[in-house]
Structure 1
Amino acid sequence: MSALVQIQHVNKSFKDHQVLHDIHFEVTEGEIICILGESGSGKSTLLRIIGGLEDADQGDVTVDDETITGPANNLVPGYDFINFVTQHFKLEQFRTVRDNIYSVISYYAQSDADDRIHELLELCKLSEKAEAYPRELSGGQQQRVAIAMALADEPFLLLMDEPFSNLDVNMKTQIRGEIVEILRKAEVTVIFVSHDPVDAMAIADRVIILEDGHIAQIDTPQKIYQEPTSPYAAKFLGPINYLKVDGKPIGVRPEQIKIHKEGEHEGKVTKCIFMGMHYHVWLTSDIADKTILLYHSSALNIGQAVHFNLMTTEIT
């Protein structure tokens, strides 16, 4: 598929601090991309530049072959084929769900608007809430209304800034699944920002990890998790142990360490905690400066000597 979005060598500074350094990547039509990074890594600034709400100092952004520029060139920043969903849903509290969606496409012919609203209510599983007010909805339902509004005028590109940060942690998994189902069915191209690696792994086709304004790695979540190219990228998608085997630095996820009575390496248990599906076990070993975390199916005793094998990933 063709590249819908092209980001070419974008740089951005605020006063004397450079926030983005030579950022370049492409997004194909229908792809969902996550920009993942710590607070201050430049991810929200990059999203605003892509959406035309901020000017880059250098570099170019194009969407569907149109060059995107920010406030320096546009009296009214933004583009009608790029829509935003923020962590604040921005629903009109005195309008029903139906009327909130209608407010986006009020310039449509009435019959076309009615058809589009009906389609979005079905897509976002809000048909039974069409006449409800935002205050009568759960957080997940309010988010689905915000998604419906963002999709209403059929944008080329949907930009989402920390879309799950305000959700109840107990409902986040369910709601995240509902949202990705909606986005996939809508076949819309999405770039979203998050600091949560679970968001990236659950939703994104590819992940861009930003480290101090640089791209540390860009690849599928599976590839980054299994074959990280730097310690920074490795740690972002979950716990990792840094070991040294045969003089080489090795990054090993907890599930890549298997206890076996004839294992190649030896360690001693320092802590064991039941976590539901498995136990978290910490070991000391001469191949690590710090304790090693692994997952095991049964409890081990503190001070117990064990042998283990590694399925290793070299960290360059």
Structure 2
Amino acid sequence: MSTLVQVSQVSKSFLDNPVIKGVSFSVEEGEIICILGESGSGKSTLLRMIGGLEDADEGSIVVEEEEITGPAHNLVPGFDFINFVSQSFRLEPFRTVWDNISSVISYLPDQERETKVNDLLVLCKLTDKSKAYPRELSGGQQQRVAIAMALADDPFLLLMDEPFSNLDVNMKTQIREEIVEILRKAEVTVILVSHDPIDAMSIADRVIILESGQISQIDTPQVLYENPSSPYAAKFLGPMNYLKVGKETLGIRPEKLRITPNGQFAGTVIKSIFMGMHYHVSVDCAASDRVILLYSSCSYPIGDSIQFEHV
């Protein structure tokens, strides 16, 4: 694979408030990258700079060997080979699904445009909804239309800003899987931003964890989850316990701790919450200055003394 996007020492401030601070990374062709961070971390600003909708104060952004610049250098911000999929989908309410997609490539000859739209309807599993209006679609279907529109003119790069934030929680997992399948089949390079670690781990080839405008860590979801480089990176991908073992303090995920009669650690149960597949058992433990979270197949009464070990 070749490098499609190169971000080099990019910085951005608003009213002397630094938002992005010397960020550098590259994206390979066909890769899906997730920029993960809390609200105010600068992730959406970074995405807008990559798309040419904001100017960087310092540094450079290059996509397919072309330098990306913002509104200060372009009368019409943005680039033809970079497309956005926003939270709101931005579908024309009085156009059918077919017409919404067709409108993006209205410059093509009729036959070529029809073939392209029909191919996208198949790719995005919308063939049976081609004559429907946006109001007649579910949130997931609307999102697939928005992606079909974004793919219509064959962009090099697709940028997605919190693409799943408006979706019903109960359908989110299924819809995420459908969207990933579409993006993989389209073989398009994707950069998305999210505050949800499940988005990052289920979709991305690599994840960038952004902390106060700087990259805290960048790696595959598996490496980030199992070997976070900082407490900030660790907390973003799930609960982390910190236990003293000798002179060291180890960060250990709850699923790596097992309740057992003769464990190396002991504590007192302060909470036990039923979560469906298991219980979340919170324990006050002398080996940590924080409450320890354990996963258990059964509940424990508050005040019980239990032992557990690292597995």
The TM tier, using the shorter chain, reads over 0.9
Cα distance in structure 2, aligned partners of 1:130 and 1:76: 31
Matched residues, number: 311
* Residue identity opposite 1:9 in structure 2: Q
Determine what percentage of the aligned residue pairs are the same residue. 68
SS at structure 2 position matched to 1:120: helix
Partner Cα distance (1:131, 1:273) in 2: 47
Find the counterpart in structure 1 of residue 165 from structure 2. Answer: 165
- The separation in 2 between residues aligned to 1:185 and 1:12, in whole angstroms, is 35
Question: Counterpart in 2 of 1:79?
Answer: 79
1:45-64 to 2 correspondences below 5 Å: 45-64=45-64
CA-CA distance at 1:301 after TM superposition:
2.9
More displaced stretch, 99-108 vs 249-258: 249-258
Displacement after TM superposition at 1:243 (Å): 2.3
In structure 2, the residue matched to 1:117 is 117
Match of 2:309 in 1: 309
Cα separation, 2, equivalents of 1:102 and 1:170: 31
Superposed, 1:266-305 pairs within 5 Å as: 266-305=266-305
Question: For structure 1, which segment, 15-24 or 297-306, has the greater mean C-alpha deviation from structure 2 after superposition?
Answer: 297-306
Q: Which stretch shifts more, 264-273 or 165-174?
A: 264-273
1-structure distance, mates of 2:251, 2:9: 31
Structure 1: runs of 5+ lacking an equivalent: 312-316
SS, match of residue 111 in structure 2: helix
Q: Secondary structure at the match of 1:171?
A: helix
Find the residue that maps to 1:170 and give its secondary structure.
helix
CA–CA separation in structure 1 for the residues paired with 2:60 and 2:66: 10
Aligned to 1:263: 263
Query: Hey, which bits of structure 1, 4+ residues long, moved more than 3 A?
Result: none
1:221-242 superposed Cα distances (whole Å, 9 cap, x missing partner): 1111111100111001111112
**How far apart are 1:174 and its partner, in Å?**
1.2
Structure-1 separation of matches of 2:307 and 2:136: 57
- AA aligned to 1:180 is V
Separation of aligned partners in 2, 1:98 and 1:136: 13
Once residues 245 and 16 of structure 1 are traced to their aligned partners in structure 2, the CA distance between those partners, rounded to angstroms, is: 44
Superposed displacement of residue 283, structure 1: 1.2
- CA positional deviation for 1:270: 2.0
Q: Could you give the per-residue CA deviations for residues 62-100 of structure 1, whole angstroms, max 9, x where no partner exists?
A: 111111111111111100000000001111111110000
The structural deviation recorded for 1:271 is: 1.8
**CA distance in structure 1 between the aligned counterparts of 2:66 and 2:291, rounded to whole angstroms:** 52
| Counterpart Cα distance in 1 of 2:52 and 2:190 | 15
**CA deviation vs aligned residue, 1:15-49 (integer Å, no higher than 9, x gap):** 11011111000000110000011111110110011
In the other structure, the counterpart of 1:234 is 234
Give the partner amino acid of 2:9.
Answer: H
- 1:185 is displaced (CA, Å) by 0.8
The match for 1:314 is none
3-state SS, counterpart of residue 272 of structure 2: strand
Structure-2-length-normalised TM-score: 0.98
Shift of 1:209: 0.7
